[in-house]
Amino acid sequence: MKTIISCLLALTCMSSVQAQIKGVVFGSNNAIKSKIYGAKVKLLGVNRGVFTTEEGVFEIILPKELPDTLVFSAMGFNSDSIVVNKKDRFISLEVILYSDQLLPEVVASYKKGTHTISRLKTLHVEEIGAGELRKAACCNLSESFETNASVDVNLTDAVSGAKKIQMMGLDGVYTQIQFENIPYLRGLESSYGLNSLPGTWINSMQITKGTGNVVNGYESMAGLINIEVKKPNNMNRVFVNAFGSTMGRAELNFDSGFQLNDKWSSAWFVHGSGIFIEMDFNKDKFLDMPNGTNVALMNRYHYQGEKMEAQFGLNVYQENKVGGQTSDMREADKKFYSVNIDSKHADIFAKTGFFMKKPLHSIGIVYNAKYQQTNASFGDRKFVGEEKRGYINAIYDGILGNSDHKFKLGVSAVYSDIKQHTIQDLDSLNDDREEIVPGAFAEYSFIGMRLSSVLGTRVDYHNLYGVKFSPRVHLKYTLTEYTDLRLTVGKGWRVPNYMIDNVSLLANSKTWIAPDTIMPEISWNIGGSIMQEFSFLKRKGNITVDYYYTMFENQMLVDRDVNSSQIVFNNLDGRSFSNSFQAEISYAVSKTIDFRMAYKYLDVRATYDGTLQQQVLLPQHRGFFNLAYKTRNKRWELDFTASVYGSSRLPGTMSSENRSLVYPIINAQITHNYKKWEFYVGGENLGNYRQENPIINAENPFGETFDATKIWAPIYGINGYVGIRFTIKKEEK
């Protein structure tokens, strides 16, 4: 591994300046200058363009044939242009567009994909926009990946309705999830938190495979998902979404952004949902989905000054679920199996940025304080947990000489006071601990004509486990004007919470055997991707192929095979690894039709009781197809997604013949846009595929063989839904 890192580091010296232009686009209106989000920057000669980020930043690759004309345009502003030559490959621009309020309105139209891969970023980052999220019901974060092939979402059991994500065949705890670069869904939130964030609040997501940047922390082992929620200064004046499904689910979402003055803006987000009807499609006398309610509230503020920028807010939610046996089984004189899950959450977050006199130098600080309480019961078995968490990350961002050489230096600190215990019959397990983890990091970025790199390292000191070192290297090499090759290698680590990470495994009669010691999980990830843009019948498309290998030095394993009456937790004694291969093609058939197809292969194994075995309940193969159609007048939209999941090894036996079946999942949605209204109707699992007998020994839930955790397919059939969205856009001055 050291040899690999040395070779990759040596490659960074092979290049000079990249053929690209970078800059920031501002808008000026009545002498007020602000950064423009979504401004179009287009090269006329090659008919290629990009959009500015939320910070007004753009980067665009220059073609081989120069000169060319670079055009800047944004809604509500006069367009501007410059001619770029070969000598301009060194420059960084500051562009100011002036209001067109005194002139006739000019609207520039450009089709931007709702699912893209940034060619300019060194890391392989999938960008998922708000348009992609609207292609499905997307009622919460767990349902935001239905049209994505890189992230899998599966039920954890047949009684709680909880879901978990997987990337590269590894459990979601190995994927670092962030809320605008703040750690999210960590600790007690990890098992049930996916339902806590409404999908309508999300503006975009970025998915990075492999280890992410060291700036974001040390826990990115399989990947990183960063969630961007709507910002007060860029969101609509009013947005309302109402939703109902045949599963008895009803939901109402509201958000509103408004300007307080020329520097301050604010936003409110309100969410309420619940399942109020008992559903038992398979007639096993257990609810397919628990009844209950979820209420969430967020209030955030944004300040834009001349010398600093700040964001801060409050996020709270409470969720209650009641499941288990149906009401007709709950007789007064009979013991019945009940599932109860209660989660309470409150956190405050803040981000401050200070602009320095030296150009392209700044200081940013991120703060977060969280309180989480999670209690769950499965029959006679209970889990009780409470967590207090604090986080701070301070970053100094600058350049060395010019903007082709950037660096980031910073310090961070994590505090976690977590109390958790389980009650199993007369037995009780405890895992209380206080963690204090200060750290420091450094990152250097270089952008050359063909080669760009991000080299980083961080050192963290854990009060229980000592010093941990995490080096990471990311490289991108431009093979041709239309072909990018990326490589990455890095180390990640985390301290496992074996109780909350596996709380769904209480939904059976097996006794938990606690680990002798809890040691940090440590992994190395190496991989890469190649992306090829192409043109066919004058329409553009791209093909992406990636492969990643993850090797664990240590891992907390959950052994569900050796003993039929026990679940054994122990540290790795042998090998554990993941091989992940994915190929995806995206193509615009016409101005109104786009499709994506993907194939994914996963080989994930670990040593159990001296034998190297495939991980349980993990399909080795997955096929994916998505078709999106939008009429020319944008009134009607049709989205169709189909996935085929291969067989997986079932727990409880070492035999490779004990496998699940291959099954399809089909989802579709039709949307009609009319002025301020959107009406949508859709269906999930339209093929009506269901796992037969998902609960083992359902008629005797307190017996020795009861098990509701061997879930590999949907447990309920077709789920139809309807919804309405209403939007009042922000008034343009």
pLDDT tens per residue across span 95-125: 888 877 644 444 444 455 678 888 888 999 9
**CA 450, CA 475: separation in Å to the nearest integer?**
10
Query: Which residue spans of the chain are classified as CATH 2.60.40.1120?
Result: 2-98
Task: Name the DSSP class of 12.
Answer: T
- Residue-level pLDDT at 106: 46
- Residue-level pLDDT at 53: 84
What average pLDDT does range 535-559 have in this prediction? Answer: 95
**CA 426, CA 590: separation in Å to the nearest integer?**
65
Q: Reply yes or no on whether the pLDDT at 430 is more than 80.
A: yes
Q: How far apart, in Å, are the Cα atoms of 219 and each of 315, 438, 439, 469, 522? A: 23, 14, 13, 12, 9
Per-residue buried b or exposed e for 45-61, using 16+ beta carbons within 10 Å of the residue's own CB: eeebbbbbbbebebbbb
Task: Tell which residue, 334, 249, 247, 349, has the closest CA to residue 288.
Answer: 247
Q: Would you place residue 10 in the very low, low, confident or very high pLDDT band (cuts 50, 70, 90)? A: very low
User: Of the given ranges (28-42, 154-168, 519-533, 568-582), which has the lowest mean pLDDT?
Assistant: 28-42
- Residue-level pLDDT at 14: 39
**Model-level pTM?**
0.85
Q: Would you place residue 89 in the very low, low, confident or very high pLDDT band (cuts 50, 70, 90)? A: low
**CA 639, CA 495: separation in Å to the nearest integer?**
41
Q: How far apart, in Å, are the Cα atoms of 401 and each of 45, 242, 262, 398, 407? A: 31, 53, 35, 10, 11
Per residue in 362-388, pLDDT (tens digit) is 999 999 999 999 999 999 999 999 999
- Residue-level pLDDT at 2: 46
The burial of 656, by beta-carbon neighbours within 10 Å (0-12 exposed, 13-18 middle, 19 or more buried), is given as: exposed
Q: In the β-sheet with 48-51, what is the strand arrangement from edge to edge?
A: 48-51, 40-43, 68-73, 80-84
* Look-up of token digits 């996020």: 315
What average pLDDT does range 628-653 have in this prediction? Answer: 92
CATH 1.10.3720.10 holds for 224-728 = no
* Look-up of token digits 């949508």: 680
Residues 213/454, Cβ–Cβ less than 8 Å? yes
Helix, coil or strand: residue 86: helix
- Residue-level pLDDT at 31: 59
Instruction: Return phi, psi of residue 86, to 5°.
Output: -60, -35
**For the chain, percent of residues with pLDDT exceeding 90:** 69
Q: Reply yes or no on whether the pLDDT at 18 is more than 60.
A: no
**CA 303, CA 43: separation in Å to the nearest integer?**
33
Query: Which residue spans of the chain are classified as CATH 2.40.170.20?
Result: 224-728
- Residue-level pLDDT at 131: 85
- Residue-level pLDDT at 12: 42
**CA 248, CA 291: separation in Å to the nearest integer?**
9
What average pLDDT does range 659-668 have in this prediction? Answer: 95
Q: Reply yes or no on whether the pLDDT at 340 is more than 70.
A: yes
**CA 236, CA 610: separation in Å to the nearest integer?**
58
Q: Reply yes or no on whether the pLDDT at 541 is more than 90.
A: yes
**CA 587, CA 534: separation in Å to the nearest integer?**
9
**For the chain, percent of residues with pLDDT exceeding 70:** 93
Q: Reply yes or no on whether the pLDDT at 3 is more than 50.
A: no
User: Of the given ranges (140-144, 490-494, 577-581), which has the lowest mean pLDDT?
Assistant: 140-144
What average pLDDT does range 145-151 have in this prediction? Answer: 91
Task: Tell which residue, 509, 602, 521, has the closest CA to residue 557.
Answer: 521
What average pLDDT does range 32-49 have in this prediction? Answer: 83
- Residue-level pLDDT at 30: 63
- Secondary-structure class of domain 2-98 per CATH: mainly beta
- Residue-level pLDDT at 107: 45
